[in-house]
Amino acid sequence: MKSIAIIGAGITGITTAYCLLKQGYQVTIFDKNRYPAMETSYANGGQLSASNAEVWNQASTILKGIRWLFNSQAPLLFNMKPSWHKLSWITEFISHIPHYEENTIQTVQLAIRARQSLIDWARIEQIDFDYRNQGILHIYRNATDFAHASRVTRLLARGGLIRQPVTAQDIRRIEPTLSGNFYGGFFTDSDSTGDIHKYTSGLAAACERLGATLIFNQQVQQLTCHPQQVTISSSDQYNAFEHHFDQLVICAGVASRHLAAQVGDRINIYPVKGYSITIPLLDTLS
Ligand SMILES: Cc1cc2nc3c(=O)[nH]c(=O)nc-3n(C[C@H](O)[C@H](O)[C@H](O)COP(=O)(O)OP(=O)(O)OC[C@H]3O[C@@H](n4cnc5c(N)ncnc54)[C@H](O)[C@@H]3O)c2cc1C
């Protein structure tokens, strides 16, 4: 049986581990944190969505980015300090603009399959992750944004995702707590929401039940590839370790680029800072 090491116990590493275990591999997962899902997979927007599969590689994103440079309230801030990594990422981002349509279609196809797999595995492993199968609503406040969303909807449909146009009245019916002026929206009833931390932790426990070895509190420092083997050098607070495996999967989020470079792979990921807040809603709906 082949032994496979996975670096990273976020959603990517744990779902990869689960699939490999189901195929009969011997799996070991490393993470520098004490528990699974303590970095990006700790908290996110909670969307199990295929309706957000439109890729960002389009000229309007660049224009939006330039406008945001001069707006202190912008949802994304860009640090102008140049670096080779930043420049190579921007160049690659721009070079994919001509593939916007085909990349969006392929991304939505992948998202539909991923969404279904996540739901199926939660059912099989009985993971409680606050799953709510109530669809996702996109709202637009002007005709220009709605027209763009209509074009995206046609593109998503080519990838197999159907979302329905809704009026301002529909929006208020679907989500009565929304107030304001809306031009229109799109509702994707096949989308859903859930808690990524609970999901990843639950699936990590399932991986352990299926025989995976989970090694926490160990940071992978160095990777060395030999013809038939890979060596992982890691350390905790006190000791250094060396582990040997047949194969390796790197799922280390924003650290993947640096680790992959050690084994001759180029992964052009550029980290951005995200934000998420959790609000305890103590009031009840009237
Ligand atoms: C604000 C925000 C909102 C989002 N909303 C959504 C959403 O609604 N829906 C959606 O689908 N996606 C959303 N995303 C994206 C999604 O959350 C991420 O794509 C996902 O969590 C990334 O998971 P990951 O496993 O790749 O990375 P991570 O969760 O970051 O996991 C990487 C792991 O690798 C470990 N690691 C790194 N380096 C080493 C090392 N050297 N040795 C050992 N371990 C190491 C880290 O400790 C970490 O646990 C959102 C992201 C953000 C930031």
The verdict on the CB of residue 10 being under 6 Å from ligand 1 is yes
Name which of 206, 201, 213 is nearest 245 in CA terms: 213
Asked if residue 141 lies in contact with residue 183, where contact means CB atoms within 8 angstroms, the answer is yes
pLDDT of residue 273: 72
CB atoms within 10 A of CB 131: 19
pLDDT of residue 284: 67
Asked if residue 132 lies in contact with residue 192, where contact means CB atoms within 8 angstroms, the answer is yes
The verdict on the CB of residue 184 being under 6 Å from ligand 1 is no
Tens-of-pLDDT digits for all 286 residues of the chain?
899 999 999 999 999 999 999 999 999 999 999 999 999 999 999 999 999 999 999 999 889 888 888 888 887 777 888 899 999 999 999 999 999 999 999 999 999 999 999 999 999 999 999 999 999 999 999 999 999 999 999 999 999 999 999 999 999 999 999 988 999 999 999 999 999 999 999 999 999 999 999 999 999 999 999 989 999 999 999 999 999 999 999 999 999 999 999 999 999 998 877 666 777 877 766 5
Asked if residue 204 lies in contact with residue 34, where contact means CB atoms within 8 angstroms, the answer is no
Name which of 38, 21, 17, 41 is nearest 29 in CA terms: 17
Centre of ligand 1 to C-alpha 9, Å, is 9
The pTM of this model reads: 0.94
The verdict on the CB of residue 11 being under 6 Å from ligand 1 is yes
pLDDT of residue 285: 61
The DSSP annotation for 28-71 comes to EEE-SSSSSS-SGGGS---EE-STT---S-SHHHHHHHHHHHT-
Asked if residue 38 lies in contact with residue 200, where contact means CB atoms within 8 angstroms, the answer is no
Asked if CATH classification 3.50.50.60 holds for the domain at 1-46+195-286, the reply, yes or no, is yes
* Phi, psi values for residue 186, rounded to 5°: -130, 135
Alpha carbon 128 to its chain's center = 19
Asked if residue 183 lies in contact with residue 142, where contact means CB atoms within 8 angstroms, the answer is yes
The verdict on the CB of residue 222 being under 6 Å from ligand 1 is no
Centre of ligand 1 to C-alpha 60, Å, is 26
CB atoms within 10 A of CB 185: 23
Alpha carbon 270 to its chain's center = 14
pLDDT of residue 64: 87
Which residues make up the CATH 3.50.50.60 domain(s) of the chain?
Answer: 1-46+195-286
Q: Which atom of ligand 1 lies at the shortest distance from residue 218's CA?
A: 43
Q: Which atom of ligand 1 lies at the shortest distance from residue 14's CA?
A: 25
Centre of ligand 1 to C-alpha 274, Å, is 11
pLDDT of residue 112: 98
The verdict on the CB of residue 36 being under 6 Å from ligand 1 is no
Strand, coil or helix: 80: coil
